[in-house]
Chain A
Amino acid sequence: MADTAKPGHPGGAHDDSNRRDFLFMLTGAAGAVGVASVAWPFIHFMNPSADVLALSSTEVNIEPIKVGQSITVVWRGKPVFIRRRTSEEIKQAADVNIKSLRDPQPDSARVKKPEWLILVGICTHLGCVPLGQKLGDPRGDFSGWFCPCHGSHYDTSGRVRLGPAPANLAVPPYAFLTDTTVKIG
């Protein structure tokens, strides 16, 4: 390097190598940004597309559901549980000591009208559909739902009480359009 440094350029070699280092790093950084900006489209390509995202909502007529009955509807390809709870079930859900729960939530934070419990019917463990919707289904030790996959028990508010699931059954966004129609999503 020293040989090629221009005469009359004191310490030229040193300056030169600094400048080269800088250019080298600059080129490297530009290259990294380039690679990242090309990688992102490929990653994002795999994310839900616009048509999948287009927020679909489902309107459900809940009039025919009798007290104590449950129905399952589909929203965004997922099962949604609608249960018209008995007064006993409501009481059972409200009487729980919140502090003893794995995912502490009062029942009141999970319903708009205590009679109607609306949940995404997907176990928060690994995504199975818990049993307990149909008559004769096992409902677990807490009279709510029982996930057969790895044995999670949910109570009458859809809160996890036993088993490997880390969280309560999710509550989807919904609104009562009238007393007998609810819009999910």
Chain B
Amino acid sequence: MTGAPAMLDNKLVKWVDQRLPIFTMMQHSAIDYPTPKNLSYWWNFGSLAGFMLVVMIVSGVFLAMHYTPHVDYAFASVERIMRDVNYGWLIRYIHMNGASMFFIAVYIHLFRGMYYGSYKAPRELLWWLGIVILLLMMATAFMGYVLPWGQMSFWGATVITNLFSAIPFVGNWIVTLLWGGFSVDNPTLNRFYSLHYLLPFVIVGVVGAHIWALHTTKSNNPLGIDIKGPQDTIPFHPYYTAKDMFGVGVFMVVYALFVFFAPNLLGDPANYIPANPLQTPAHIVPEWYFLPYYAILRATPDNFIGSWMGFTLVPAKLAGVILMFGSILLLFVLPWLDTSRVRSARFRPIYKWVFWLFVICCAALTWAGSQPPEGPALWVARLGTFYYFFHLIVLMPLIGWFERPLALPKSIAEPVLSGGKA
């Protein structure tokens, strides 16, 4: 299937390719790339995330042409984009809801990886690069949300930058450094804008490395078994280019429904009130894609760890911050926490169910994060936080150890040829 690139028949293409083998590279990575023939629709979300990254950069660069990063003008400039700039409302709603669609795609992509064991050897670095992308996206989206300078922009920025003050000894110094002042103010807005413009391009670079690692280890697949030979694969083009395009089409229908019919459904109305440093909104909530972490942050009871004879080892504030960052950083060691050698949950009778408990746990944390931290919501947050870490630290090693996996098929081609009955 890796014949000589057909496009090299063209003389100009050939001339360029001999000097800079860009066409050969495209041929290898986007056309010939041998892809498992059994990929399901869950494998569409990688390309969907890539698509969203492009959408965010294009819409963002256009927004930047009319946006003013100054505390006195930022809010008004965004309102001007909405009302006066030609199609400004469209570009802004594309960007605003695009962030949500980007996170939806990436979260599904990530859960897909967890279900099918895509993080296991030899794909650990591929998984790591994915988590790095997630962290960069979170930083980018957080700083982007500050730009319109509404009440949630301001108070979200205040609460999140203040997290760093929990770091012992250097905390306050770091917070002042982040702010460039004594509170979230104009210097903060300016640097966030600078970084909000920069980080997406850093993400492009890491995505490049992510795909490079993917093409080195090759794609995982719903059976989680290795590619044994050419009979297990089909070339990426036209099979998966077509399937990915179809996925983009369906995804865009959903995206368009948000943009045109419910553009503010996922947002907080308080962000249409200009920032007021003297008045905190009664209920500060981040965008939906940050809610699980926010729930974890607020779940720790006062004097959580080692409160003993009136002496607190780790104050609640620091504990919450450690748990929140830990919830993501722990994903880096998932390849080693999972002791099972079988990748796909399809052949893991116990993990298969426990995985869905984990998904439910994340959904419950999302809900808890949207509520004020009291009553039942607080208890859901606490239980959910406990279960989140229990799943990763205790269940993953334990289940891999005692679970008896089902027999694996001999090859990808076998069940595909026998009609998919695995």
Asked if A and B bind, the verdict is yes
Could you list which residues of chain A lie within 8 angstroms of chain B, going by C-beta atoms? 43, 46-49, 52, 72, 74, 76-79, 99, 102, 122, 125-131, 147-151, 162-166
User: In whole angstroms, what is the CA distance A102 to B373 when docked?
Assistant: 21
A129, B280: Cβ atoms closer than 8 Å: yes
User: In whole angstroms, what is the CA distance A8 to B354 when docked?
Assistant: 77
The residue of chain B having its C-beta at the shortest distance from the C-beta of A45 within the complex is B180
Within the complex, the shortest CB–CB distance from B71 to chain A, in Å, comes to 10
The residue of chain A having its C-beta at the shortest distance from the C-beta of B158 within the complex is A127
A165, B374: Cβ atoms closer than 8 Å: no
A150, B177: Cβ atoms closer than 8 Å: no
B230 at the interface (CB under 8 A from A): no
Interface size on B, residues (CB 8 A): 38
A52, B317: Cβ atoms closer than 8 Å: no
B residues less than 8 Å from A151 (CB atoms): 372-374
B277, A78: Cβ atoms closer than 8 Å: yes
Within the complex, the shortest CB–CB distance from A132 to chain B, in Å, comes to 12
B191, A46: Cβ atoms closer than 8 Å: yes
Please report which residues of chain B, range 370-412, place their CB below 8 angstroms from some CB of chain A when the two chains form the complex: 372-374
A residues less than 8 Å from B162 (CB atoms): 125-127
A49, B182: Cβ atoms closer than 8 Å: no
B residues less than 8 Å from A46 (CB atoms): 177-178, 180, 191
User: In whole angstroms, what is the CA distance A147 to B373 when docked?
Assistant: 12
A126, B181: Cβ atoms closer than 8 Å: no
B187, A128: Cβ atoms closer than 8 Å: no
Among the listed B187, B278, B300, B373, which residue makes an inter-chain contact with A48, where contact means beta carbons less than 8 Å apart? Answer: B187
Of the A-B pairs whose beta carbons lie under 8 Å apart in the complex, a sample of 13, sorted by A's number, is: A46-B178, A49-B180, A52-B187, A77-B181, A77-B277, A122-B183, A126-B162, A128-B280, A130-B280, A131-B280, A147-B280, A148-B372, A149-B280
Apart from A52-B185, A76-B183, A150-B298: 7 A-B pairs, beta carbons within 8 A: A46-B178, A49-B187, A77-B181, A77-B182, A127-B161, A128-B280, A129-B278
B84 at the interface (CB under 8 A from A): no
B176, A47: Cβ atoms closer than 8 Å: yes
User: In whole angstroms, what is the CA distance A165 to B166 when docked?
Assistant: 10
B315 at the interface (CB under 8 A from A): yes
Please report which residues of chain B, range 161-187, place their CB below 8 angstroms from some CB of chain A when the two chains form the complex: 161-163, 176-183, 185, 187
Among the listed B159, B279, B312, B315, which residue makes an inter-chain contact with A149, where contact means beta carbons less than 8 Å apart? Answer: B159
Q: A43-B177, A72-B278 are in contact. Are A164 and B300 (CB under 8 A)?
A: yes
- Residue among A47, A130, A150, A164 with most chain B CB within 10 A: A164
Q: How many A-B residue pairs have CB under 8 A?
A: 88
The residue of chain A having its C-beta at the shortest distance from the C-beta of B175 within the complex is A127
B373, A148: Cβ atoms closer than 8 Å: no
User: In whole angstroms, what is the CA distance A40 to B187 when docked?
Assistant: 19
B189 at the interface (CB under 8 A from A): no
Within the complex, the shortest CB–CB distance from B179 to chain A, in Å, comes to 8
User: In whole angstroms, what is the CA distance A72 to B317 when docked?
Assistant: 26
A149, B278: Cβ atoms closer than 8 Å: no
B315, A74: Cβ atoms closer than 8 Å: no
A52, B180: Cβ atoms closer than 8 Å: yes
A residues less than 8 Å from B180 (CB atoms): 46-49, 52
A148, B278: Cβ atoms closer than 8 Å: no
B20 at the interface (CB under 8 A from A): no
User: In whole angstroms, what is the CA distance A52 to B278 when docked?
Assistant: 19
Within the complex, the shortest CB–CB distance from A73 to chain B, in Å, comes to 9
User: In whole angstroms, what is the CA distance A164 to B279 when docked?
Assistant: 20
User: In whole angstroms, what is the CA distance A49 to B303 when docked?
Assistant: 37
B177, A52: Cβ atoms closer than 8 Å: no
Within the complex, the shortest CB–CB distance from B377 to chain A, in Å, comes to 12
User: In whole angstroms, what is the CA distance A166 to B373 when docked?
Assistant: 17
Among the listed A102, A130, A148, which residue makes an inter-chain contact with B283, where contact means beta carbons less than 8 Å apart? Answer: A148
B6 at the interface (CB under 8 A from A): no
A residues less than 8 Å from B298 (CB atoms): 150, 164
User: In whole angstroms, what is the CA distance A77 to B176 when docked?
Assistant: 13
B177, A163: Cβ atoms closer than 8 Å: no
User: In whole angstroms, what is the CA distance A128 to B282 when docked?
Assistant: 10
B302 at the interface (CB under 8 A from A): yes
User: In whole angstroms, what is the CA distance A72 to B181 when docked?
Assistant: 20
A residues less than 8 Å from B179 (CB atoms): 48
B residues less than 8 Å from A129 (CB atoms): 278-280
User: In whole angstroms, what is the CA distance A130 to B298 when docked?
Assistant: 17
A148, B282: Cβ atoms closer than 8 Å: yes
User: In whole angstroms, what is the CA distance A78 to B185 when docked?
Assistant: 10
A residues less than 8 Å from B284 (CB atoms): 128, 149
Within the complex, the shortest CB–CB distance from B87 to chain A, in Å, comes to 36
B315, A166: Cβ atoms closer than 8 Å: yes
A164, B302: Cβ atoms closer than 8 Å: yes
Please report which residues of chain B, range 300-330, place their CB below 8 angstroms from some CB of chain A when the two chains form the complex: 300, 302-303, 310, 312, 315-317, 320
